[in-house]
Amino acid sequence: MRDLSEHPDVADQLGTMAVCPRPRRMQKIVASAEASTRRRFLRLAGIGAGAITAACSGTDGATKASPTTHPVDATAPLDLPYLFDGDPQAQQVARSLLAATPGAEELHRHEQFMRLAIELANNNPSRPFAAVIVDHTSGEVLAQGVNNRSANPTSHGEMVAISDYISRHGNADWDQVSLYSTAEPCVMCCGAIALVGIPRIVWASSIATVLRSDIPQFEISAIEAIARAHQLYRPELALPGVLAAETDKHFAARQR
């Protein structure tokens, strides 16, 4: 974990915060430091996305990549930013999630379901967000959702899919399902996913990619949001970057 001694300016600022109210200028400095830390964590989470994207495409630059990413020791030191200071359990959850290494067969299965979500997203070219919920064992598609924020600002693809699932199947058997989304779930959707207890979440494009397409986002990674919910929720899988090479193009070319 990153030591604050590497950032004496930030350490001094945080020490000052503990003993006196922040002047307005200090508030701006600390806010800037915190935003920078979150951006570093978004990039860190993107490491996993890059590994999965390489596995999906079968290439890494000019060389061919193995469909299985290299395993990472979930207990080994990881350069997580200091925003996890004081919460070692959240840090451990983040390590474990970032260490996920799907094999070729599992990755192929995830791709199949992600393609269903991509097909749904094609119905909304201005905001290509969509999600499907499937039975993890049988592969049956149990629910689906397409972003409909024009009708309701909270109707993100994941939220619509969760509502669709409840309307069809009731509030039950969440431990049997997986959710696939064309984009990294925002903090609101991560909260809903945690509250209902979906154990496996797979997404394609990252929040950073969505931001580049001029769609405003909370700059909080799904890994961070999920890790911080560890007291009520611990998923088996939070897998980024599946078919991101396809969805990234859709976001870049979206209708504005």
Q: Is residue 126 part of a domain?
A: yes
> Which of 119, 140, 158, 219 is flagged as catalytic?
158
Number of H-type helices and E-type strands within the chain: 9, 7
Euclidean distance between CA atoms 90 and 95, whole angstroms: 9
Q: How high is the pLDDT of residue 83?
A: 64
Counted domains in the chain: 1
Q: Is residue 14 part of a domain?
A: no
For the chain of 256 residues, list the mean pLDDT of each consecutive stretch of 10: 41 37 45 50 50 44 34 46 76 91 96 98 96 98 96 97 98 98 98 98 97 94 95 96 98 92
Q: Is residue 36 part of a domain?
A: no
Percent helix, strand and coil across the chain, each to the nearest 5:
50, 10, 40
DSSP state of 222: H
Query: Of how many residues is the chain composed?
Result: 256
Give the DSSP H/E element, type plus range, for residue 203.
strand 200-205
Q: Do strands 237-239 and 200-205 pair parallel, antiparallel, or not at all (unpaired)? A: parallel
Q: Is residue 11 part of a domain?
A: no
Contact 141, 132 (CB under 8 A): yes
Q: Is residue 185 part of a domain?
A: yes
Given strand 177-183, what is the order of strands in its sheet? 141-146, 130-135, 177-183, 200-205, 237-239
Beta strands in 63-155 (DSSP E): 63-64, 130-135, 141-146
Q: Is residue 97 part of a domain?
A: yes
Closest CA to 247 of 132, 144, 121: 121
Q: How high is the pLDDT of residue 9?
A: 43
Is residue 119 part of the annotated active site? The answer reads no
CATH of the domain at 179: 3.40.140.10
- What is this structure's pTM? 0.73
Which residue segment(s) compose the domain that 223 sits in?
Answer: 88-251
Q: How high is the pLDDT of residue 54?
A: 44
Indicate the residue type of 205. S
Euclidean distance between CA atoms 111 and 60, whole angstroms: 18
Q: Is residue 34 part of a domain?
A: no
Q: Is residue 173 part of a domain?
A: yes
**Tokens 């909370």 sit on residue:** 218
